[in-house]
């Protein structure tokens, strides 16, 4: 299989790429700049290539979509790039960088990239704390003063990621999945994480390839090699349509018919 994993210059993305490449899949890595791309290819020399692209700006996301299409099509695309807790960090579009990378990027890439055979979105158990009413998802009303450490913004984005799985499965008619890596010992998870890192990587690989449990469902949410419960609001079509409409207005990009 030909598989593209965004945000795969380190962490779970890189570990998943290594496992997939070891199992003879053709893996394309992604890094935000040339320096990180070089490091990623050194760490995973069996990768097919590594594309660069800044997923924190709308222009950068669109440019990456065009670049990825030059090297595609892909059998699977995993939207793994993500930011965790931190300051507001307004981008050139006036969005918090976390919102741009975690929510806007997978939306635009799903719309503009050539349709793969499978789509995967990386979520988190913290999606349970997300705002299902989809109130001010770009934080333009609340602004930096109410951002704090970004915990609410992160939880919201992880709920959006599960919603994308259901929405794009419905729109595109292809298998989709969202995946919860759990709390694992990566740079993001920290040294005190308790969940099984190997199982997280194997779950990522499973949803990319559609094997085992992931192959039994046209759309699902997975954790530690099994299906996992999620907020029931994620399946609500009206909420999904509201999310897609908000993002269309923010980005100027429509879901293709």
Instruction: List pLDDT tens digits, range 124-169.
Output: 999 999 999 999 999 999 999 999 999 999 999 999 999 999 999 9
252: pLDDT strictly greater than 80: yes
Mean pLDDT over residues 96-110, rounded? 98
Q: What is the pLDDT of residue 195?
A: 78
Cα–Cα distance between 70 and 72 in angstroms, integer?
6
Residue 82 contacts residue 186 (beta carbons within 8 Å): no
Residue 219 contacts residue 165 (beta carbons within 8 Å): yes
Q: In the chain, pLDDT over 90 holds for what percent of residues?
A: 93
Residues 241-250 pLDDT 10s:
999 999 999 9
Residues 15-74 pLDDT 10s:
999 999 999 999 999 999 999 999 999 999 999 999 999 999 999 999 999 999 999 999
N-term to C-term CA, the chain: 26
Q: List active site positions.
A: 154, 158
State the number of CA atoms in the 13 A half-sphere of 63 facing the CB: 11
Residues 82-94 pLDDT 10s:
999 999 999 999 9
Cα–Cα distance between 69 and 91 in angstroms, integer?
25
111-120, 126-135, 187-196: least confidently modelled range? 187-196
Query: Is cis: bond before 157, omega within 30 of 0?
Result: no
Q: Phi and psi of 195, rounded to 5°? A: -80, 165
Q: What are the DSSP calls for 135-184, one per residue?
A: TTTT-TTT-GGGTTTSHHHHHHHHHHHHHHHHHHHHHH-S-EEEE---S-
Q: What is the CATH number of domain 2-251?
A: 3.40.50.720
């Amino acid at each position: 299989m030909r598989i593209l994993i965004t945000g795969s210059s380190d962490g779970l993305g890189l570990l998943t790429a290594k496992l997939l490449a070891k199992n003879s899949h053709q893996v394309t890595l992604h890094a935000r700049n040339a320096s990180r791309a070089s490091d990623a290819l050194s760490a995973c020399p069996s990768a097919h290539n590594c594309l660069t692209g800044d997923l924190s700006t709308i222009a950068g996301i669109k440019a990456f979509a065009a670049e990825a299409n030059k090297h595609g099509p892909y059998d699977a695309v995993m939207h793994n790039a993500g930011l965790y807790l931190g300051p507001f960090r307004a981008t050139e579009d006036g969005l918090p960088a976390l919102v741009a990378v975690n929510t806007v990027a997978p939306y635009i890439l799903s719309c503009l990239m050539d349709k793969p055979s499978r789509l995967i979105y990386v979520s988190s158990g913290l999606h349970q704390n997300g705002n299902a009413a989809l109130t001010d998802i770009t934080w333009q009303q609340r602004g930096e003063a109410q951002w704090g450490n970004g915990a609410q913004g992160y939880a919201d984005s992880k709920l959006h990621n599960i919603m994308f799985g259901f929405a794009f499965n419905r729109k595109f008619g292809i298998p989709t999945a969202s995946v919860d890596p759990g709390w694992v010992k990566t740079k993001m998870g920290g040294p005190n994480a308790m969940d099984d890192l190997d199982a997280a990587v194997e779950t990522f690989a499973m949803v990319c390839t559609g094997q085992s449990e992931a192959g039994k469902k046209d759309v699902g949410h997975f954790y530690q090699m099994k299906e996992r419960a999620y907020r029931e609001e994620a399946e609500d079509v009206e909420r999904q349509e509201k999310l897609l409409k908000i993002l269309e207005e923010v980005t100027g990009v429509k879901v293709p018919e």
